[in-house]
A and B are shown apart, each in its own frame.
Chain A
Amino acid sequence: MSLTLLNVIVAVVIAIAFAAVNAAYLVWAERRGAARIQRRPGPNINGPFGLLQPPADGIKLMTKQLMIPGGADKILFMVAPVLAMVPAIMSFVTIPFSEGIVARNMDIGVLMIFAFASMGAMAILFAGWGSRNKYAVMASVRAVSQSVSYEIPMLITAITVIMVNGSMDLKAISLNQAGGFWHWNIFPSLQSPLMPISFIIFFICSLAETNRAPFDLGEAESELVAGFHTEYGSMGFGLFFMGEYANIVIGACLTTILFLGGWGCPFGLFPGVWWFLLKIYLLIATFIWIRWTFPRTTIYGLLNLSWKILIPISLFNLLLTAGLLKVF
């Protein structure tokens, strides 16, 4: 009992550290990547390749004064950044990085991650409402309608994968795909011939759920100043940023486990945490690449894509998979 408790506490500490380090250095990677795509140098002054830029940014954010605008709802304003961070950290607890490296393997791992991810919209809502700023309110209404509508195709696609694997356990789903890339869920099988489409839907939804460009309507800076975090400075802003990058890492982890074989090697050699990290960082690099390549969509285009295209396709895929599972 006490060992389990210690296990969980250590795991949560490691999850926070992992999320924080990732957030700091993904910002650096994002800025460098953006700069490369836009043919400019990016942050390259502090340390080799600008690698000391994230600690400098962190110190700057932490030493700034926390300002609460007059007329803001103080409690909600303070709670929102914390709410953005906590679900992201909680989700790390059940993600298996390799067969041995998992804090608390649950038989409902997928469900738990979705349950906590659905709380993320609440943080944006409270932030927008609490800051008493019309741009923030508009941005949070947009961001929440976006994340609610993209949660549906994402969940349906996840259910398809769960049905094929017969388990909600992330570890079991990974182990199901062990032994070479032809076992991975991303490739079509007899039971689910539309798996590549599922993967694309899931990937689009994870882009939209993390409010990334081309779906970053919640912080459209050309229309809404900075969106829902317009009024946030210092570490409140920092927490929103960390939450966003932690969510990106979780999205990449979930995609890796559900579709790309988790920690398995593509050729069946040396499965382990290194393959997992390689896969998630490749996915994150794709996230960054997409963000700086595509222009922002409109809010109608965004909602139409979800309700008129992604949801029907994913529902059809679910029905087809259910039927074929009965046949084969």
Chain B
Amino acid sequence: MNPSMVITEAPGLFTADGLTGLIFLVMMAVTLTGGIIACCAERLIRAIAGLIVCFIGVAALYYFLNSPFVAMMQMLIYVGAICITIAFAIMLAAPEESRKKGPAGPLSGPLGFISAGLVTFGLIAMAMRTTFTSYPKINNGTVEEIGIAFLTSHSMVFELISIVLLIAIIGALVIAHTGRSK
């Protein structure tokens, strides 16, 4: 696609652009549906299922945006590791029906709707006022290119991630250690 092209009218459904748009909309729908299920489910385990659907939608978006590596990492880490860990914790902690209990927080009800509406309105207003310019593809998003970028131009990010992971490991060890001595 021409990078400076601006789409003025909606393309037909059976053109390349139209089908691309349709696929994009389907992915958005999957992500949003997952998110809504995750927020509204009464059972925690269903909320996890919604979160997984949401993550898969996001992974599909990454793939759609020419980053297969990031998409696969999203699947591997978020779906394969984080969601399973959360589900595991729920199963160990609450083996019986774990429905919502207790009084609702101060943000539920009208206040919640108002704040959500404000955020949505703000985001829409911001999106409408921005003029989007499309850039040409930077690279193919292959492992090699990402690796080179990580170790040359973006090495700071790489180091920071290592420090975060190191802190997480030390924290886990500290928690496990105090748990053992009790």
The distance from the CB of B153 to the nearest CB of chain A, in whole angstroms, is: 21
Q: Is A37 an interface residue (CB 8 A)?
A: no
Interface residues of A in 138-170 (CB under 8 A from B): 140-141, 144-145, 148, 151, 168
Q: Which one of B16, B72, B95, B144 has the highest number of Cβ atoms from chain A below 10 Å of its Cβ?
A: B72
Q: Which one of B52, B68, B84 has the highest number of Cβ atoms from chain A below 10 Å of its Cβ?
A: B84
Q: Is B32 an interface residue (CB 8 A)?
A: no
Inter-chain contacts of B68 with A (CB < 8 A): 106-108, 112
A111 and B76 contact, CB distance less than 8 A: yes
B81 and A129 contact, CB distance less than 8 A: no
Identify whether the interface residues of B are mostly helix, strand, loop, or mixed: helix
The distance from the CB of B42 to the nearest CB of chain A, in whole angstroms, is: 11
Q: Is B88 an interface residue (CB 8 A)?
A: yes
Q: Is B39 an interface residue (CB 8 A)?
A: no
Given contacts A125-B87, A129-B45, contact A168 B75 (CB under 8 A): no
B49 and A79 contact, CB distance less than 8 A: yes
CB contact between A112 and one of B16, B72, B85, B144 (< 8 Å): that residue: B72
CB contact between A107 and one of B76, B87, B142 (< 8 Å): that residue: B142
CB contact between A73 and one of B43, B52, B69, B72 (< 8 Å): that residue: B43
Inter-chain contacts of B84 with A (CB < 8 A): 118, 121-122, 125, 144, 148
Produce 1/0 per residue, B144-174, CB < 8 A to A: 1000000000000000000000000000000
CB contact between B46 and one of A73, A118, A125, A128 (< 8 Å): that residue: A73
A122 to B85, CA, bound (A): 10
Q: Is A61 an interface residue (CB 8 A)?
A: no
Q: Is A114 an interface residue (CB 8 A)?
A: yes
CB contact between A1 and one of B16, B73, B79, B88 (< 8 Å): that residue: B16
Q: Is A115 an interface residue (CB 8 A)?
A: yes
> Can you name the residue of chain B whose Cβ is closest to the Cβ of A5?
B19
A76 and B76 contact, CB distance less than 8 A: no
A116 to B69, CA, bound (A): 13
The distance from the CB of A154 to the nearest CB of chain B, in whole angstroms, is: 12
Q: Is B118 an interface residue (CB 8 A)?
A: no
B91 and A141 contact, CB distance less than 8 A: yes
Interface residues of B in 59-88 (CB under 8 A from A): 68-69, 72-73, 75-76, 79-81, 83-85, 87-88
A76 and B46 contact, CB distance less than 8 A: yes
Q: Is B143 an interface residue (CB 8 A)?
A: yes
A115 and B76 contact, CB distance less than 8 A: yes
Interface residues of A in 278-303 (CB under 8 A from B): none
The distance from the CB of B72 to the nearest CB of chain A, in whole angstroms, is: 5
A302 to B112, CA, bound (A): 48
The distance from the CB of A150 to the nearest CB of chain B, in whole angstroms, is: 13
Q: Is B7 an interface residue (CB 8 A)?
A: no
A129 to B43, CA, bound (A): 11
A51 to B35, CA, bound (A): 48
Query: CB within 8 Å of A: which residues of B?
Result: 16, 43, 45-46, 49, 52, 68-69, 72-73, 75-76, 79-81, 83-85, 87-88, 91-92, 95, 142-144
A sample of 23 inter-chain contacts (CB < 8 A) reads A73-B45, A79-B49, A108-B142, A111-B69, A111-B72, A111-B143, A112-B68, A114-B76, A115-B73, A115-B79, A118-B76, A118-B80, A118-B81, A121-B84, A122-B79, A122-B83, A122-B84, A128-B91, A129-B87, A137-B91, A137-B95, A141-B88, A168-B143
Given contacts A114-B76, A121-B80, A141-B92, 17 further A-B contacts (CB under 8 A): A73-B46, A75-B49, A79-B49, A107-B143, A108-B68, A108-B72, A115-B76, A115-B80, A118-B75, A118-B81, A118-B84, A126-B45, A128-B91, A144-B84, A144-B87, A145-B88, A168-B143
